[in-house]
C-alpha cells in the first residue's frame, strides 16, 4: 500500500508519529475479517475506529466548518501533471496550492485530462492539522477540500485520491469504470455519490463514510470488494443490482442502520463477515443462485427475524486453515463451530428451521 502511505507523508513526520500507535491498533482490528491491511498506518482518522463503530448516530453530531477557506484550484498552473504512458492524455499528480474547491481541467496543453493519480499537496506544502482541517466530530477531522468536479474526459482514478476529504457529494464521469481501493476512505461528510458506469468497487472504497445514508449502485456493477462499505454506520438503504455475482469479505460489516437486504439472482457467493454487526438488520432474502456462504456472514445481527434461503443446500465455508486455504467439510463435528448466524438472538424456530434445512449446523 505504498501509494496510501505516501499520500499522507505530506502531512508531516511529526503528525504521522502522533498517530502511529492508533494506526497499529487499527491495522490489527482488520485481521478478524481476513483483510490484507498490514500496511495501513498514519491516517489521521485511524484512532477513531470505535467512534465509527455505529454505536451512535454520527449524522446528529457532525459539524461542518466548510467555507471555501482556501479558494478554488481550477487552472492548469494549480496542478502537478504529466503526460500519461500512452502519450494521449494528462495525468493529474497533485496540487500546487491549497484549495477548498478543486475543479479538474478538461484540457491541459491541448491534451485531455484522462487520469487523476493524486491530489496531494506539492513538496513544501502541507495541511495544518490544527488550523486547516474540518472537524467532523471531536478528534475526527477531514482535509478541507469540500468540492471536487471531474471532467468527462477522465477515465481513471488512483487509489486513495479523495481519502479523508470533506466532500459531501461527487459525480464520476461515464468513463470511470472502477472505484479503486480507499477512494473515499474516511470521507466523513460524503452523502451522495453518482457513479453511472462503474462495474467494480474495490477494497475499502467507501469505508468509514459516516454520513452516507443510502446508495443506489449502478446496474453494470458486477463485484463489491472487501470492506467496501465497512463502518458506514448510518447507511440505511442499499440497492444491489442484478449484475453483481460476488460480494467479498466484510463488505457491509457494521452498517448498523441497515434494516433489510435483498440479494439479487446471480450472486453465487457471499464473503466472511459480510453483514456482521448489522444490528438493525431484520430481513434477509438470499437468491436461488447462491451456493456458498462464508463464516460470520450474519454474525451478531441481533434483530434478524426473517431469512429466505435458497431451496437447495448451500456450502458453509469455515475460517481459513493454517495453510490459508478456505475449506468446507462434510464432517459434522468440524462444522459445528460455524458462526454464520451466531448472535442472531431474535430468530424464531421457523426461521432457524429454514436455515438448518440449507445445511447450517453451527450455533445461533
Which H or E run contains 26?
helix 20-29
The C-alpha atoms of residue 315 and residue 269 are separated, in whole angstroms, by 9
* Amino acid 12: pLDDT: 43
3-state secondary structure of 110: coil
Within 13 Å and on the Cβ side, how many CA atoms surround 75? 6
pTM of the model: 0.79
26 to 31, 41, 98, 254, 277: CA distances (angstroms): 10, 8, 29, 15, 17
Q: Counting Cβ atoms within 10 Å, is residue 355 exposed (0-12), middle (13-18) or buried (19+)?
A: buried
Distances (CA, A) of 250 to 225, 229, 239, 265: 9, 8, 17, 20
Supply 72's cell numbers: 478554488
The helix/strand/coil state of 153 is coil
Closest C-alpha among 280, 261, 272 to residue 346:
280
Output the tens digit of pLDDT for each of the chain's 364 residues. 433 334 434 434 443 444 344 444 433 443 343 443 333 333 444 444 444 444 344 433 344 444 458 999 999 999 999 999 999 999 999 999 999 999 999 999 999 999 999 999 999 999 998 899 999 987 789 999 999 999 999 999 999 999 999 999 999 999 999 999 999 999 999 999 999 999 999 999 999 999 999 998 999 999 999 999 999 999 999 999 999 999 999 999 999 999 999 999 999 999 999 999 999 999 999 999 999 999 999 999 999 999 999 999 999 998 755 444 444 444 444 556 789 999 999 999 999 999 999 999 999 9
Q: What is the pLDDT of residue 216?
A: 86
Q: What is the pLDDT of residue 334?
A: 54
- Using the Cα atoms of residue 120, residue 125, residue 129 and residue 132 in order, give the sign of their dihedral: negative
Rounded distance between C-alpha atoms, residue 30 and residue 361, angstroms: 27
Contact (Cβ atoms closer than 8 angstroms) between residue 362 and residue 339: yes
Grid cell in block for residue 323: 495453510
- The 8-class DSSP code of residue 333 comes to H
What is the residue whose three cell numbers read 453451527? Answer: 362
For the chain, give the number of residues: 364
Collect all residues with Cβ–Cβ distance below 8 Å to 86 and sequence separation of at least 6. Answer: none
Half-sphere exposure of 69 (CA within 13 A, CB side): 15
* Distance separating alpha carbons of residues 41 and 1, to the nearest angstrom: 10
| pLDDT for the residue numbered 210 | 96
pLDDT of residue 335: 57
Amino acid at each position: 500500500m505504498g501509494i496510501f502511505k505516501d499520500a499522507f507523508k505530506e502531512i508531516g513526520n511529526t503528525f504521522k508519529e502522533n498517530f502511529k500507535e492508533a494506526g497499529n491498533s487499527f491495522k490489527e482490528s482488520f485481521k478478524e475479517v481476513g483483510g490484507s491491511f498490514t500496511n495501513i498506518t498514519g491516517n489521521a482518522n485511524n484512532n477513531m475506529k470505535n467512534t465509527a463503530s455505529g454505536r451512535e448516530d454520527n449524522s446528529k453530531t457532525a459539524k461542518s466548518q466548510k467555507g471555501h477557506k482556501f479558494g478554488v484550484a481550477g487552472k492548469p498552473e494549480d496542478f502537478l501533471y504529466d503526460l500519461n504512458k500512452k502519450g494521449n492524455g494528462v495525468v493529474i499528480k497533485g496540487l500546487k496550492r491549497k484549495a477548498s474547491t478543486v475543479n479538474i481541467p478538461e484540457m491541459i496543453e491541448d491534451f485531455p485530462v484522462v487520469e487523476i493519480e493524486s491530489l496531494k499537496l506539492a513538496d513544501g506544502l502541507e495541511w495544518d492539522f490544527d488550523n486547516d482541517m474540518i472537524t467532523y466530530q471531536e478528534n475526527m477531522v477531514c482535509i478541507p477540500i469540500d468540492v471536487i468536479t471531474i471532467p468527462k474526459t477522465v477515465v481513471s482514478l488512483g487509489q486513495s485520491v479523495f481519502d479523508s476529504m470533506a466532500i459531501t457529494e461527487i459525480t464520476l464521469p461515464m468513463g470511470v469504470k472502477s472505484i479503486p481501493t480507499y477512494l473515499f476512505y474516511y470521507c466523513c461528510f460524503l452523502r451522495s455519490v453518482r457513479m453511472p458506469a462503474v462495474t467494480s468497487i474495490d477494497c475499502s472504497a467507501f469505508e468509514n463514510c459516516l454520513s452516507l445514508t443510502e446508495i443506489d449502485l449502478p446496474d453494470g456493477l458486477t463485484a463489491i470488494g472487501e470492506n467496501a462499505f465497512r463502518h458506514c454506520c448510518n447507511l440505511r438503504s442499499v440497492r444491489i443490482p442484478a449484475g453483481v455475482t460476488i460480494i467479498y469479505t466484510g463488505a457491509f460489516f457494521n452498517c448498523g442502520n441497515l434494516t433489510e437486504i435483498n440479494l439479487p439472482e446471480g450472486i453465487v457467493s457471499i464473503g466472511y463477515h459480510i453483514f456482521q454487526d448489522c444490528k438493525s438488520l431484520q430481513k434477509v432474502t438470499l437468491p436461488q443462485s447462491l451456493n456458498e456462504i462464508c463464516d460470520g456472514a450474519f454474525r451478531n445481527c441481533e434483530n434478524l427475524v426473517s431469512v429466505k434461503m435458497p431451496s437447495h443446500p448451500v456450502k458453509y465455508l469455515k475460517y481459513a486453515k493454517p495453510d490459508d486455504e478456505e475449506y468446507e467439510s462434510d464432517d459434522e463435528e468440524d462444522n459445528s463451530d460455524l458462526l454464520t448466524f451466531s448472535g442472531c438472538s431474535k430468530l424464531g424456530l421457523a426461521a432457524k428451521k429454514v436455515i438448518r434445512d440449507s445445511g447450517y449446523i453451527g450455533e445461533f
